[in-house]
């Protein structure tokens, strides 16, 4: 079995030396400023015999209904063509999108079509969750793959039953957003955290007290009460403020690539773990020495904490004499050429035992 290389990325974010300030704009949003989903069902034409089969009732009925709108009365039972396909269209409309703005759309087959390559989407209505029409979609499909052959022998690359149309939809109706009521709104954090919310609240009240008052409602919501009519200008000032966000210690593992990403402050408690023919001893020692200050004061005593790391491949026991940082553990495991899969297994076992003081995310 081929071994995967282990990539260790230590993100140093200690509160003193490696503090990182970010804009409020990058970790929050204004309530009401959100994306919305649009969806619709349509027909793709122009396929070279790779569309839905004659037994697909959805496609036949859709084609019949479409032709009737143009004054052509054809029964669905009289349609025999594999050049059309029934599709679903999805789009995301951003906040404050205005009529005439263009959206990218995704088109996917809902029938038994073999490929959408070369097809063109007919005019389709895109609706929101309230069943109102907000955009119209149409255009030539871009398929990121191919399929060649017949029913018996074929070769394909990527998914040919899914396609995109860049700027394939045009917004027809603006989605109204109730941003401000009674001169107030809410600032919503992308990741709920009470410490970060408190820091934002204090920063706003400290630097923009003449324009707005901030008060925490919960770890992800901060109320903003505006004192002037310059609401948008005040919001711009709030979003430009820089604070140091707090974060939850995490260790992220990707088993497919052998990647481990961890914060530098993640700790591992003392534990004994049996794994292969390996022994790691991580501990700390205290040394004391005396030195003479001057002739009058005499001697003074200083105490220094020293950390040590030793490892050998002679026994099947891994032991920790004291709490250690996770980067020390992974570096030690890597230096004795333990495979990435084995290192990931060790981290998972540490989490199960409760010795790894961080959230473990396995991808």
Res 331 pLDDT > 50:
yes
166 or 345: which carries more pLDDT confidence? 166
Distance (Å, whole) CA 285 – CA 305? 6
pLDDT bracket for residue 2 (50, 70, 90): very low
Q: Which of 3-7, 100-104, 255-259 has the lowest mean pLDDT?
A: 3-7
Q: For position 302, what pLDDT does the model report?
A: 53
Sheet with 7-11: strands ordered across: 7-11, 259-263, 250-254, 359-362
pLDDT 10s digits, 265-282: 677 777 666 666 555 555
pTM over 0.85: no
Residues 6+ apart with CB under 8 A from 257: 4, 7
| Residue 53 phi, psi (nearest 5) | -75, 170
Is the pLDDT at 255 greater than 80, yes or no? no
pLDDT digit string (tens) for 14-49?
Answer: 333 345 788 999 999 998 888 999 999 999 998 888
Report whether pLDDT(200) > 90. yes
* pLDDT score of 296: 54
Judge whether residue 287 has pLDDT over 60: no
Q: What's residue 135's pLDDT?
A: 96
Average pLDDT over residues 341-358: 77
Predicted pLDDT at 330? 73
Contact 87, 121 (CB under 8 A): yes
CA of residue 67 relative to chain centroid, distance: 43
Write the pLDDT tens digit of every residue in 169-192. Answer: 999 998 877 777 778 899 999 988
For residue 196, the number of C-alpha atoms closer than 13 Å in the C-beta half-sphere is 24
> Tokens standing for 228?
């002037």
Is residue 12 scored above 70 in pLDDT? no
pLDDT of residue 16: 39
Strands 7-11 and 259-263 come out as parallel
What are the pLDDT digits (tens) for 288-330? 445 555 555 555 555 444 444 444 444 445 555 556 777 777 7
Check pLDDT > 70 for residue 161. Answer: yes
| Alpha carbons 170 and 136: distance in angstroms, whole number | 5
In this prediction, residues 253-261 reach a mean pLDDT of: 73
116-150 tens-digit pLDDT: 988 999 999 999 999 999 999 999 999 875 555 55
Between 101 and 12, the higher pLDDT residue: 101
The answer to whether residue 102 scores a pLDDT higher than 90 is yes
Q: Which helix (H) or strand (E) holds 222?
A: strand 221-226
Mean pLDDT of the chain: 77
């Amino acid at each position: 079995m081929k071994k995967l290389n282990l990539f260790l990325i230590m993100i140093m974010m200690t509160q003193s030396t490696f503090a990182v300030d970010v804009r409020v704009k990058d970790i929050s949003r204004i309530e009401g400023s959100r994306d919305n989903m649009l969806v619709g069902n349509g027909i793709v034409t122009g396929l070279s015999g790779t569309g839905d089969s004659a037994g697909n009732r959805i496609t036949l009925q859709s084609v019949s209904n479409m032709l009737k709108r143009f004054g052509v009365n054809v029964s669905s039972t009289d349609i025999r063509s594999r050049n059309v396909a029934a599709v679903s269209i999805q789009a995301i409309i951003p906040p404050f999108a205005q009529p005439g703005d263009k959206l990218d759309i995704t088109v996917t087959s809902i029938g038994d079509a073999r490929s959408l390559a070369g097809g063109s989407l007919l005019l389709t209505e895109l609706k929101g969750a309230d069943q109102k029409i907000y955009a119209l979609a149409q255009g030539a499909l871009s398929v990121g793959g191919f399929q060649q052959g017949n029913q018996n022998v074929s070769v394909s690359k990527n998914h040919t039953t899914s396609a995109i149309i860049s700027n394939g939809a045009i917004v027809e109706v603006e989605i109204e957003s109730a941003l401000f009521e009674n001169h107030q709104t809410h600032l919503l954090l992308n990741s709920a955290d009470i410490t970060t919310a408190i820091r934002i609240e204090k920063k706003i009240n400290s630097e923009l007290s003449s324009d707005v008052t901030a008060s925490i409602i919960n770890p992800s919501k901060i109320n903003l009460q505006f004192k002037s009519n310059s609401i948008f200008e005040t919001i711009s000032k709030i979003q430009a403020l820089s604070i140091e966000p707090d974060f939850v210690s995490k260790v992220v593992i990707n088993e497919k690539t052998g990647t481990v990403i961890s914060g530098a402050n993640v700790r591992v408690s003392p534990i004994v773990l049996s794994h292969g023919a390996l022994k790691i001893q991580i501990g700390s020692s205290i040394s004391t020495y005396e030195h003479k200050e001057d002739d009058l004061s005499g001697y003074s005593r200083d105490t220094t904490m020293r950390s040590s790391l030793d490892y050998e491949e002679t026994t099947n026991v891994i032991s920790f004499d004291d709490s250690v940082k996770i980067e020390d553990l992974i570096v030690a495991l890597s230096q004795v050429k333990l495979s990435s899969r084995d290192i990931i297994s060790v981290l998972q076992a540490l989490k199960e035992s409760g010795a790894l003081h961080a959230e473990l995310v396995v991808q």
